[in-house]
Structure 1
Amino acid sequence: MSDGASVSGAGELRVGGLVAGPGAPAVMTVVNRSVDSFFESADSTEAAVRAAGAAHAAGAAVVDIGGVRAGRGPHVSTQEEIDRICPVIAAVHEQLPDLVISADTYRAPVARAALAAGARILNDTWAGADPELPEVAAAAGAGIVCSHTGGLAPRTDAHRSRYGLLPGDVVTDALDGVAALARRAREAGVPAARVLVDPTPDFGKNTRHSLLLLRRIEEFARLGMPVLLAISRKDFIGEAVGAATPAERLPATLAATAYAVEHGVSVIRTHDTAATVQVIDMVTALMGTREPRRSVRGLR
């Protein structure tokens, strides 16, 4: 087993009181206020706040609060997105001030409102579609996620995506893409420890593309910034093991999570907090980067 903590050039995430990095990754739990998410949603502000509290109690260091489904679906206006997520962010920030809140949005007006409500990270899953986001993050002292979609527009699905002539060209394209967005964020004033890079499996990619990106995830860690990996119950996970629905994909998601932790990922985004925390605990104990939670066997 390789030691993810020793990935050359890998960076740590430092936001608020949270420090996470290779060998000591953090869990980011999904809390959706969209009405049509592919797996699960909270149907009210109160339900979303309860979900965030439960995630925190189960070991999540970050909650990622979103109000718009990533894929195709009904139009959601900017104001509607603000109304969905900002009351949740404000309530969670008040009740759990030590919990880092991420706002899953690609729109600068929503980002400003979310940061004012208490968010500390902007999770831009659409690769800088709104070029103002780095400046918004920098002005608030927040972090930002730099993603890769291969040019795909927000809320569209991949269809016959191609990257060059060789299979590995998707990795080159993704590395170059997130590195360029990270440079823009740094130039805007966001410190490297608050710039996360995300290869973004499934977005603008087929299953073979996504598997190759995960196989070579250490190359993203070597960019010198913390790596966020969002793979929870995604289509490429399902196609890899023949699990047709998201409900069937937890075991395969956890297997991929273990691989990612071993290979230098700093943040794991998940729908399943307790199971993901346990996987991280086991892998980091095996790596020797974390002590067992309890060690009494053979000592009494």
Structure 2
Amino acid sequence: MPLQSDALVVRAADRYYAIPLVQIERVVRINPEKLYDYYQSNDATLNFEDNDYRVRYLNEILSGNKLNELVVNTNTSLPVIIIKNRTGQNIALQVDQIAGSRIEVVVKPLGQQFSNLSGISAATIMGDGSVMLILDLIALMRNAPVLKEVASSTGSKHRRLESQSTVMVVDDSVTVRKVTSRFLERQGYKVAVAKDGVDAIEILQETIPDLILLDIEMPRMDGFEVAIQIRHNKRLQHIPIIMITSRTGEKHRERALEIGVNDYMGKPFQENELLNKIQTLLGEEVSLTHEG
């Protein structure tokens, strides 16, 4: 007979996980700027409530993605789970959201392919039939330093994209990304690609391109939201943005320009027109290189 356990549902990026209540001492909320500064520093612990805690960010442990700098600009505090730990060390796990109050889950053992994953103890079937992983917080935190090194090496790959004349292409269409990237590479540009707005914001934590080509209609976060976040971020707000979209109506164009987009083009774009706009915004000489 499957075991039953009381758990808390949390969100990390766009995924949800269950945490057994027996592992949780309590949940506190902390200013995002304080957390961001701590993650950027070399400090071993973060002090709050008159105690020092070793804090880790769940999404960074699981996927290598650090706390989004743009979250710091919001007024919303972030949830930090204080973990029950018999070793005497104060440890805590930051998540993006407490997504569900106390729930009762039916614990099912993991299949053999997941049995070697440290920090994942079991799984549960949700009401809609989806599978939610159940975390083992002690094992997860013990494994965090190793995973952090892996994440750092992944981040260095993004940083290698940073150079003169890097153009970021943000579009949910694989075809548009490929066609646009090949065209730009033929003109001598380095290209960074993002499959949607959320992906773009994550890449912008590691890479500052010289210019962004931005679609409007995308899942998870549309182009307007991306442009707003960029224009309200001191580190990114200088980047020129050309919005390229099938939404060619005056209403959308006006909204884009109000946000601070530098130029606006309809799809499908003319290559020479796009290149002229890019080179104008980057202060380069206008020339079109044709493939031989």
TM-score range relative to shorter protein: under 0.3
State the structure with more CA Rg.
2
Given the two structures, how large is their TM-score scaled by the length of structure 2?
Answer: 0.26
Higher relative contact order (CA 8 A, sep 6+): 1
| Structure number having the greater strand percentage | 2
Given the two structures, how large is their TM-score scaled by the length of structure 1?
Answer: 0.26
| Structure number having the greater helix percentage | 1
